[in-house]
Structure 1
Amino acid sequence: MNKEELNELLHPMKLIGLSGNPALNEKIASILGQPLIETAVHHFSDGEIQVNIGESVRGCDVFVIQSIQDPINENFMELEIVLDALHRASAHNVNVVIPYLAYSRSDTKTRSREPITAKLVANLLQITGMDRLIALDLHASQIQGFYNVPVDHLHAMPLLAQYFLDNGIAVKGDDDIVVVSPDHSGAKLARNFGQYFDAPIAIVDQRGARYDTEVHDMIGDVKDKKCIIVDDLIDTGSRIASSTKSVLAAGATKVYVAATHALLSKDATEVLNGLPVEQIVVTDTIKHKRYPDRMVRISVDQLLARGIDYVYNDRSIHQIFDEQNRLK
C-alpha cells in the first residue's frame, strides 16, 4: 500500500461546496472525482443562517470551497458556520479553498481610525478551526502573513498569459506589446505579467484619492503599441475605463484587459461595454448572471483542483509554480 492509498484509508477526502460559486465548485469536484457533500443551507426570515452537513466527516480531511463574493457578508458567515460545524464534528483537517477572498483590499492602515479588515477576516477564519487556506491571487501577497496556519497562494495570471499566447494576441519577444498598470501600486503585477511576453511596462499616472474615468498621463511609451491592461480585479470598471482612455490618448493602437477577479459591481458591465477594448480576459472565480459583451472567462478549476490534490497528498505546491514559470 503506497502513501496515497494509506492516506485515503486513514483520512478520506471530503469536499464541501458552498453558495458563493456553485458552478466552479462542481467543476473542481468533477476533476478530483469526488462528489460534493450534500450541505443544506437555510436562511431564516430574520437573516440567520442554518447549515446542516449531510454525512459524517469524523477523521476526514475536508476541503471547503467558498468564493466570498456578493453577497459578501452572507457568504462569509455561511463559511464561518460550516467551519464551526466541521470542528465540532471531529474532522481531521479543515482546509478552506477561497477562489476570491473579500476584504483583501483593506490590508493596511492608511489613515487614522481605519481598520485592517483583511487581518480581522484572518482572525475570524482561524478562530473557527481552519487548518489551512488555499487562496487565489490575493490583492496583496503580504496577507499570507496575517495567518498562523499554512497558506497556499496560487496564481491565475499564468493562465491569462497563456490565453494571450495561445490566441496570437501576444508573441513572446514581440516589441509590439506593452503591459500597462492602471496605477503605481500595480507596477509589480504588470512587471510579472510582462515577463511572459518579454514585454515592457507602462503606468497610468492616476492621481487623487479615488479613481475616475478621466484621461491621465502615461509613464512609459505606448504609442503605436498593442496594450494589455492588467489588474488583479475589476470592481466598478472606473480604473479600467480611465486606463483605456489614457493609453488610447497616448497613441496605443489596440487595448486588451486581463484581470483575475471580475467583481463587476454597480454598473460595471455598462461601463466596460462602453469602452473601445478588444477583449476583457478574466477567470471564473466569481459568478454573475450577466457579463460584458467582450469578456472571456478562463476557468481556474484545474488549478484549484491540483492545489487541493497536492495538499491532500502532501506534495509540494512549488511544482505548480515551476510549471507555470515555464511559460516565461
Structure 2
Amino acid sequence: MPTTPEPKLITGNANKPLANAIARRMSMHRGVNVGLVDARVERFNDQEVFVEVYENVRGEDMFIVQSTSNPANDNLMELLIMSDALRRSSAKRITAVIPYFGYARQDRRSKARTPISAKLVANMLVEAGIERILTMDLHATQIQGFFDIPVDNLYAAPIFALDIREHFRDSLDDVMIVSPDVGGVARARELAKRIEAPLAIVDKRREKAGEVAEMTVIGDVTGKKCVIVDDICDTAGTLCKAAQVLLDQGAAEVHAYITHGVLSGPAVERITNSVMKSLVITDTIQPTDPVKAAPNIRIIPTAPILAQAILNIWNGTSVSSLFDTPTLEPIYEGQFGH
C-alpha cells in the first residue's frame, strides 16, 4: 500500500517566521515532522529573483507560504517564480498560502483610466500554475470571483472575538465595536455579533487619497470601550484620528483590532503617540522591530488557524468550519493570556 504523502511547505522571504510557525503547528497536529522544503530564493545582482528547490517534489501536495506585503512586487515575483519552479518539477498540486494578499485595494475602477490590479495579479497567479489560494481577510471579498480556481478566505473576526472575550472579560458589557468607515460595516457587524456588542460607525469624507477631511460618529459611544475593527492599517492616520474623534464623543477608551499591520511610514510613531490604549494586529505581515517594540501594539499569531486550514485542504475537509468558535477555541488554547 502506498503511504499518503505529507503536505509539503515551502516559503519565500516575505514572512519566514510565520512559515516556520505554521510548520511547527502542523508537525504538532500530525505527530510527524513537517519541515519547510529546502530551497533558495535569492536575487541576482540586478535584483532578478532566482529560485532553486533542493528536494524532490514530484507528485507532492505543495503549499507556498508567501504574503505579498512590502516589498510587494519582490514578494509577488518570488511567489510566481516558486510556483513555476514547482510546476516544472511535477508537483501534484500547488496551493498559494497568501496570508496578506497585496494589490487587493485595487479591486475596481474608482476613476477613469485606472487599472484593476487585483484581477491582473489573479491572472498571473493562475498562469504561474497555482491551483488554489488560501488567504486571510481579503480587502474586498469579491476578489474571490477574479479567480477561476478555489479561493479560501479565512477571517480574523473569530480569533479577535476570542481575544476580546479574554481581555475584556470583566467589562464585556461596556465594549462597543466601531467600523472606521461605511465600507467596513459588514466586517465590524460580524465581530459585534460574535461578542453580542453594539455597533457604531465613523463616517469619514476624504478629499484625496491618504487624507481625511472630516469625521462623524454614527451611534452613541458615551462611556463605552470602543474597539475599532478593520482589515488594513497602513499609515494609521485615519485610525488615530478616528480614535481621537471617539474620545471627543465621550468614549471611555479606544482600542483597535486590525488584521493586516502594513504600518508604513510614520504609522508606528503615530500609534505610540495616539490616544489608543492598544492596537492588536496579526502576523500575516512580518512585524518590524519598531512594531514589536511599540508599547501599545500587540500581535496575535495566525499560524494556528493557517496550519489547520492547510491540513483541512490537504485532507479534503471543511475550511469554513474554522469560522466556528467551538472549532477555533481548542486551536487557540493558551494563546490569549493576560
SS at match of 1:196: helix
Give the TM-score normalised by structure 1. Answer: 0.93
Structure 2 residue aligned with 1:195: 193
**Pair 1:16-2:2 in alignment:** no
Structure 2 residue aligned with 1:28: 22
CA distance in 1: counterparts of 2:193 and 2:171, whole angstroms: 12
Distance 1:324 1:133, change over 3 A: farther
Contact 1:213/1:241 (CA < 8 Å) preserved in 2? Answer: no
* 1:215-254 to 2 correspondences below 5 Å: 216-254=215-253
SS at match of 1:297: strand
Q: Which amino acid aligns with 1:297?
A: I
Gaps of 5+ in 2: 28-33, 330-338
Any idea what the Cα deviations from partners look like across 1:47-94, whole Å, max 9, x if unmatched?
111110111100000011001111111111011101111111110000
By how many angstroms is 1:123 displaced? 0.3
Contact 1:181/1:203 (CA < 8 Å) preserved in 2? Answer: yes
By how many angstroms is 1:17 displaced? 1.5
CA distance in 2: counterparts of 1:180 and 1:210, whole angstroms: 22
CA distance in 2: counterparts of 1:141 and 1:132, whole angstroms: 16
CA distance in 2: counterparts of 1:286 and 1:215, whole angstroms: 30
Q: Indicate the percent of aligned positions where both proteins have the same amino acid.
A: 38
Q: Cα RMSD between the aligned structures?
A: 1.8
CA distance in 2: counterparts of 1:272 and 1:213, whole angstroms: 17
Contact 1:232/1:259 (CA < 8 Å) preserved in 2? Answer: yes
CA distance in 2: counterparts of 1:111 and 1:282, whole angstroms: 31
By how many angstroms is 1:322 displaced? 2.9
Contact 1:42/1:49 (CA < 8 Å) preserved in 2? Answer: yes
Structure 2 residue aligned with 1:104: 104
CA distance in 2: counterparts of 1:71 and 1:152, whole angstroms: 24
Which range is displaced more, 103-112 or 200-209?
Answer: 200-209
By how many angstroms is 1:11 displaced? 4.4
Which range is displaced more, 155-164 or 230-239?
Answer: 155-164
Q: Which amino acid aligns with 2:14?
A: G
CA distance in 2: counterparts of 1:43 and 1:326, whole angstroms: 39
Contact 2:240/2:275 (CA < 8 Å) preserved in 1? Answer: no
CA distance in 2: counterparts of 1:131 and 1:213, whole angstroms: 40
Structure 2 residue aligned with 1:57: 57
SS at match of 2:313: helix
SS at match of 2:324: helix
Selected match of 1:309 from 293, 308, 311: 311
Q: Which amino acid aligns with 2:187?
A: L
Distance 1:264 1:296, change over 3 A: same
Distance 1:42 1:250, change over 3 A: same
Distance 1:10 1:196, change over 3 A: closer
CA distance in 2: counterparts of 1:114 and 1:27, whole angstroms: 38
Distance 1:324 1:108, change over 3 A: farther
Structure 2 residue aligned with 1:135: 135
Any idea what the Cα deviations from partners look like across 1:259-298, whole Å, max 9, x if unmatched?
1110010110111111011111111111122213211100
Structure 2 residue aligned with 1:266: 265
How many pairs were matched up?
319
Distance 1:170 1:57, change over 3 A: farther
CA distance in 2: counterparts of 1:285 and 1:312, whole angstroms: 21
Contact 1:282/1:295 (CA < 8 Å) preserved in 2? Answer: yes
Contact 1:222/1:250 (CA < 8 Å) preserved in 2? Answer: yes
Distance 1:35 1:306, change over 3 A: same
CA distance in 2: counterparts of 1:324 and 1:273, whole angstroms: 35
CA distance in 1: counterparts of 2:265 and 2:199, whole angstroms: 30
Structure 1 residue aligned with 2:297: 295
Contact 1:215/1:246 (CA < 8 Å) preserved in 2? Answer: no
Contact 2:205/2:214 (CA < 8 Å) preserved in 1? Answer: no
Give the TM-score normalised by structure 2. Answer: 0.90
By how many angstroms is 1:129 displaced? 0.5
Distance 1:169 1:271, change over 3 A: farther
**Pair 1:183-2:181 in alignment:** yes
By how many angstroms is 1:167 displaced? 1.8
